[in-house]
Amino acid sequence: MNIKEQEKLLKMCVQKNADLDQELKKRGYSYNDLVYRHNLKPLLLEDLADYRSLNDFAVENRGIPFVSFFSGSGGLDLGFEAAGFSHLVSIEIERIFCETMRANRPCWKVIGPPFHKGDARDRDAIISTLKENRINAPFEGVFVGGPPCQPFSIAANQRYKKNGKNYKRIGFSNKEHGNLLFDYVWYIKIFRPSVFIIENVPGLLTIDGGEQLNLALRELNECGYHIAGPNLLNASDYEVPQNRNRVFVVGWRLEKSFDFPAPSNKKVPVINALNADFDNLPNHITRKHFASSILRYMELNFGQRDHFGRIDRLAPYSPAKTVIAGGNKGGGRSHLHPFIPRTLSARECARLQTFPDDYVFGGTPARQYTQIGNAVPPLLAFHIAKAIYEQLFDDAPILVSNLDLFQINPALLK
């Protein structure tokens, strides 16, 4: 079907209120046969980095335990697992996230619904559960955690007015999620892990002028932890085919030093990530768009936005724009495929996030998008976990006896 035939079919569906999916099937076509008006033949360019899955990096288990807080669908957990750390417990409050982790990793101990509340705010219950799983102080391993980011997120609130009821970027005054960072800090102070990692959105650096984050890190420093960060890392610098900025802090009580991993020299483009036989992969359900939507989408050029639907056509030869989660109650959505005028499937988004192809997400497609978009890219987590192992656990030399108190980089606050 050429572009003129496509346009004629789409306009007919709009005029007659016909079902586009059915009309395509009548003609022996599917949504994947649709094209943009402005298209280029897909090319795999040699000067761009190949897409490599998490399994390509995985090493044998090194026996160093870790506990995961606010685990989501397991992005950080998968990265640490691939780097050879030994999973002990994941704590997560959302049932569908817990079910996804249990289905993919039956050997993991997942603390959350329906068997446990998984609420980090319930400190007594969490402490009791951790001790039942033989996690005591001092914990000779790693705590990893990314407290829910909606109160600090800029992207999640761009469409709302600051004084509107839907605006959630109110930081630590958010009654539901705003103080979870300090809950996490409290667990670190109680169990004194050898190493901890904090992950969050860039907005954590600017909310309250960074005052609360400084307070949290000062508390940890006073408890004997050296602090690296907060550092703003872009996932695309670590072989993830996606521009995704996240803040990381690493703390440790060992008399050693730590530097965040150096960025890669090459970027992984969208086209290399989407070079797969998706029809044989799980979670590859594509949305059946209305003909009127396709008529708009098909006119977009690479990287251009459809302002009506607030959705972007991805550029194929660079990393993707940030994969977004949508709302926790099911508002997940995705970007447009670079060569087909439709939104990406959950599996295509999972590839941009570097989840393994055999990692299956439960729930409705909308909830799958939420789980994928909320996650730390597992490959980014792997590179950080690998650096932690090599510098802090693998017989690294004792390089320092005292580190200066952390400072937030003023450039990150701009």
CB 71, CB 376: distance < 8 Å: no
332 residue type, one letter: G
Spatial CA neighbour of 69 closest among 181, 213, 169: 181
| N- to C-terminal Cα separation, the chain | 49
Q: Which 3 state secondary structure label does DSSP give 306? A: strand
Spatial CA neighbour of 150 closest among 87, 70, 221, 82: 70
Decide the pairing of beta strands 85-91 and 142-145. unpaired
pLDDT of residue 379: 97
pLDDT of residue 395: 76
E-strand ranges in 40-125 read 64-69, 85-91, 110-111
229: left (phi over 0), alpha (psi -120 to 50) or beta: left
pLDDT of residue 212: 82
Spatial CA neighbour of 100 closest among 117, 120, 75: 75
pLDDT of residue 295: 97
pLDDT of residue 199: 95
Q: Which residues are bridge partners to 227 per DSSP?
A: 251
Q: Which residues are bridge partners to 110 per DSSP?
A: 90
Peptide bond into 230 cis (omega under 30): yes
Alpha-helix residue ranges (DSSP H) falling in 166-247: 180-191, 203-206, 211-222
201 residue type, one letter: V
Predicted TM-score (pTM) of the model is 0.88
Spatial CA neighbour of 385 closest among 86, 55, 72: 86
pLDDT of residue 22: 97
Reported as type and span, the H/E element at residue 197 is strand 195-200
Spatial CA neighbour of 145 closest among 211, 99, 105, 191: 191
Q: What is the pLDDT along the chain (414 residues), one digit of tens a residue?
A: 899 999 999 999 999 999 999 999 999 999 999 999 988 766 655 667 889 989 999 999 999 999 999 999 999 999 999 999 999 999 999 999 999 999 999 999 999 999 999 999 999 999 999 999 999 999 999 999 998 855 544 444 444 455 555 444 444 454 444 489 999 999 999 999 999 999 998 888 887 777 888 999 999 999 999 999 899 999 999 999 999 999 999 999 988 999 999 999 889 999 999 999 999 999 999 999 999 999 999 999 999 999 998 899 999 999 999 998 765 454 556 899 999 999 999 999 999 999 999 999 999 999 999 999 999 999 999 999 999 999 999 874 444 433 334 444 444 333
pLDDT of residue 289: 95
Q: Which residues are bridge partners to 323 per DSSP?
A: none
CB 246, CB 200: distance < 8 Å: yes
pLDDT of residue 62: 93
E-strand ranges in 39-189 read 64-69, 85-91, 110-111, 142-145
Long-range contacts of 86-95 (CB under 8 A, 24+ apart): 86/61, 86/62, 86/141, 88/133, 88/135, 88/141, 89/129, 89/130, 89/133, 89/135, 91/67, 91/118, 91/120, 91/126, 92/118, 93/117, 93/118, 93/119, 93/120, 94/118, 94/328
Rounded CA-CA distance 162/284 in Å is 37
Tokens, residue 338: 């670079």
Spatial CA neighbour of 241 closest among 297, 305, 343, 314: 314
Spatial CA neighbour of 42 closest among 336, 317, 329, 361: 317
Q: What are phi and psi of 252, to 5 degrees?
A: -150, 150
CB 384, CB 260: distance < 8 Å: yes
pLDDT of residue 163: 55
Domains of the chain: 3-47+269-374 (3.90.120), 54-266+379-397 (3.40.50.150)
Half-sphere exposure of 96 (CA within 13 A, CB side): 17
